[in-house]
Amino acid sequence: MNQPSAIQPGSSLARYVWKLLRLRWVIYFSGFLRAKPARKVGYVVIWLLLLGLFVGAFVLSWLLLRALQSPQVAVYVDLRSLRDGLPVLALGGAFVGILLTSFGVLLQALYLSGDIDFLLAAPVPIRAVFIAKLVQAILPNLGLISLLGLPLLFGLGAASGYNVLYYPLLVLILIALALAAAGLAALLVMGVVRLFPARRVAEVLGFFGGILSLICSQAGQWGRFVDISESQALQATQTLARFNTPWLPLAWPGRGLVALGTGQWGTGLLLTGLTLVLSGGAFALALTTAERLYYTGWARLQVGTQKKRPARVSRPAAAEHRSWPVILAERLLPAPVRGIVVKDLLVLRRDLRNLSQLISALILAFIYVLAIGRGTDVPGGQGEMPAIFMQSLHYLKTYSALMLWIFMSWSLISRLALMGFSQEGKQYWLLKSAPLSTGKLLLAKYLVAYLPTLGLSGLFLLVISVLHGNPGDMLLYGLPVIALSSAGTTGINLAFGVLGAKLDWDDPRRMVSGNSGCLGALASLVYLTFSLGLFFGPPLGLTLLKQSALLGQALGLILGGVLGVACALIPPWLVRQRVSHIGEA
């Protein structure tokens, strides 16, 4: 019998943390070494660009802050309070930012990454695994915050002539704050995972994260920043200055650094020391708690905590009530096509990760419906314009609303059609081993993308026509336009979805390869531009030429319809041979 190896678990925490972190570095670096030359060049270019951004931001901050401190500017505005509050704001913001953004990445790193079973089964102290995972999780966020915040604060130090101790302490405090924030976020993650399954928490988080980011982006677009008055700007700077109070612990690191920089050694050492002690305490608390919470949480995850629901009593098939769309679908569609459509819509609805991507189109639609609803139907002015222009403007407004919706439906179709095949993932074997022709499979995936969009479009048109008070224009002309233009968009995106189908994904956000995703979006946008020109050009042109708008609409429907039908049929037909090869490595 051989002697057991001389591993002493827990003998040196730092040694194990170093081993685990070095392993990540080796994986990253060997990935770089094995990458294709073009990718290697890409990596180097990105790093150089980031370095350039860092240096550029530093120089810009330095020059700008020096200019703001000049006596000429000081005559108009006293920016000293803002300057002194800048480190407070940046470091406080970094702490809160890392605290908020770390939850999701720590959940993934601590509970859902593939190597946890291996690491926790190995004779490695659980604290070492925890620290290594924590550091890996916060590095991207810390890097991003450092890239944006450090040049600004270094620039402030240079412009204000702070002493040399300011610079290394700034980096040290930023790291301490990041570790403390991540430690607290980890405690929160460990607590939540004891109550809810980690995978479900990740799904819910992804769903709300997607919605929140969309709302933020839209709120930014709708904000009226250009209208900010001088008094509002002054009020904002005063609010920021109020944040810089000695009683707020989040202000201590910034105030301490400024005090050290300006040579107030007593205050500076006290506040930075307090910051380091508190940050270390928070991290130590997370570390000691993790010893118990992390392991038990992980162990609970392995046995599963899902409550058993009482079994539902299934009704016999004959007694099932079927609604008219189901009966219609049964008459019109072959069973395999119907089955795939129902299956895909069920899976899309039940998987929150998918739903968060789809819901963005719906939120955008809701926002723009509100915007259109608030608009006035009659263009401004005193009626001195010729009637023909007024009528053209009326049509232009109607068609603009339709165009807006067509672009909304484009974003929905892009998601559904482009990812139609990739969405099958590792389950694609079920479709591929079934007696299913390529035509039926393409038709099913086409309908999965097209039908929900068509349904939503009908609803949108109904709402808009009520808001506009002209259901004729909107419904009778708008619905065929949207149906035909969306048909083309679906065909193009579906074809690119076939070409870029990727089945080995774990994260739904990585379903489609970048190239086909970009090309699909570009091609369908080019198509849409032409298509809208064909649909709306003739009615607008004929109205301006004092001809019948109805004739123009009919002409538009024929021209745009031909293009739409062609794009609905030809791109999927071109890639039909590729369908039978999907999933073959």
Partner 1 sequence: MADAIPLIETQMLSKKFGDKTAVNNVTFEVHGGEVFGFLGPNGAGKSTTIKMIVGLLQPTSGMVRVAGYDVQAQPLQAKAASGYVPDEPNLYLKLSGRELLRFVGDLYELDRQQAARRIEELLRLFDLAAAGDDTIDSYSHGMRQKISVAAALMHDPKVLVLDEPTVGLDPKSARLIKDILRQMADRGAAVFLSTHILEIAERMCDRIGIINRGELVAVGTMDELRALGTGKGETSLEDIFLQLTGGAEYAEIAAVLA
Binding site for partner 1 (CB under 8 A): 199, 304, 306, 309, 311-312, 314, 316-318, 334-336, 338-340, 342-343, 346-347, 350-351, 425-427, 429-437, 580-581, 583-585
Our CB check for partner 1 shows the closer of 295 and 428 to be 428
The alpha carbon of residue 142 and the mean position of all alpha carbons in its chain are separated, in whole angstroms, by: 19
Q: How far is Cα 457 from Cα 551, in angstroms, rounded to an integer?
A: 24
Which of 220, 304 has the CB closer to partner 1?
Answer: 304
Query: In whole angstroms, how far apart are CA 146 and each of 39, 178, 442, 484?
Result: 25, 10, 48, 50
Report the residue number, 170 or 499, with the smaller CB distance to partner 1. 499
Smallest distance, partner 1 to C-beta of residue 516, A = 22
Nearer to partner 1, 80 or 509 (CB): 509
Q: Which is nearer to partner 1, 70 or 306 (CB)?
A: 306
User: Which lies closer to partner 1 via its Cβ, residue 215 or residue 328?
Assistant: 328
What residue type is 309 in one-letter code? R
What is the nearest approach in angstroms of partner 1 to the Cβ of residue 166?
Answer: 53
d(CA 481, CA 478): 5
Q: State in angstroms the smallest separation of the CB of 505 from partner 1.
A: 12
Rounded CA separation 556/563 (Å): 11
Measured from the CB of residue 410, what is the shortest distance to partner 1 in angstroms? 26
Q: Are 154 and 170 in contact (CB under 8 A)?
A: yes
HEC assignment per residue over 14-29: HHHHHHHHHHHHHHHH
Q: Do the beta carbons of residue 21 and residue 135 sit within 8 Å?
A: yes
DSSP state of 575: T
Question: Whole-number minimum distance, CB 415 to partner 1, in Å?
Answer: 17
Minimum Å gap between C-beta 337 and partner 1 is: 9
Minimum distance from residue 2 beta carbon to partner 1 (Å) = 8
- CB-wise, 55 or 327, nearer to partner 1? 327
Minimum distance, C-beta of residue 246 to partner 1, in the bound complex (Å): 52
- Say how many C-beta atoms besides its own lie within 10 A of residue 123's C-beta: 10
Instruction: Please name which of 390, 397, 399 lies closest in space to residue 535, comparing C-alpha atoms.
Output: 399
Of 229 and 314, CB closest to partner 1: 314
Closest CA to 235 of 87, 90, 82, 67: 82
Least gap, CB of 188 to partner 1 (angstroms): 25
Contacts of 188 (CB under 8 A, 6+ apart): 103
* Nearest distance in Å: CB 377, partner 1: 44
Task: Quote the least distance from Cβ 347 to partner 1, whole Å.
Answer: 5
Nearer to partner 1 (CB atom), residue 291 or residue 330: 330
Nearer to partner 1, 336 or 471 (CB): 336
Q: Taking Cα atoms as reference points, which of 195, 190, 239 lies closest to residue 89?
A: 239
Q: For partner 1, give the closer residue by CB, 217 or 437.
A: 437
Q: Using the structure block, give the residue that is written with the tokens 């005193």.
A: 382
* Closest to 136 (Cα-Cα) out of 150, 116, 154: 116
Judged by CB, which is closer to partner 1: 14, or 585? 585
Closest CA to 225 of 210, 211, 236: 236
Q: How far is the CB of 317 from partner 1 (least distance, A)?
A: 3
What minimum distance in Å lies between the beta carbon of 31 and partner 1? 21
Give the other-Cβ count within 10 Å of 427's Cβ. 12
Helix (H, G, I), strand (E, B) or coil at 115: coil
Name the minimum Å distance from CB 331 to partner 1.
13
Residues 529 and 541: beta-carbon distance below 8 Å? no
The answer to whether residues 103 and 189 touch, using CB atoms and an 8 Å cutoff, is: yes
Q: Are 276 and 176 in contact (CB under 8 A)?
A: yes
Measured distance between the N- and C-terminal CA atoms of the chain, rounded to whole angstroms: 45
**Token match 């899976």: residue?**
347
- Phi and psi at 385, nearest 5°, equal -70, 150
219 CB burial (10 A radius; 0-12, 13-18, 19+): exposed
Nearer Cβ to partner 1 (436/463): 436
Residue 435 or 514 having the CB closest to partner 1: 435
Q: Which is nearer to partner 1, 547 or 580 (CB)?
A: 580
* Token pair 């079920």 in the structure block, residue: 430
With contact defined as beta carbons under 8 Å apart, do 179 and 145 qualify? no
Number of H helices and E strands in the chain, helices first, is: 22, 0
Provide, rounded to whole angstroms, the least separation between the CB of residue 42 and partner 1: 25
Helices (H), 375-505: 387-418, 428-432, 438-468, 471, 479-499
Longest dimension (CA), the chain: 104
Helix axes 80-107, 230-243, angle to 10 degrees: 70
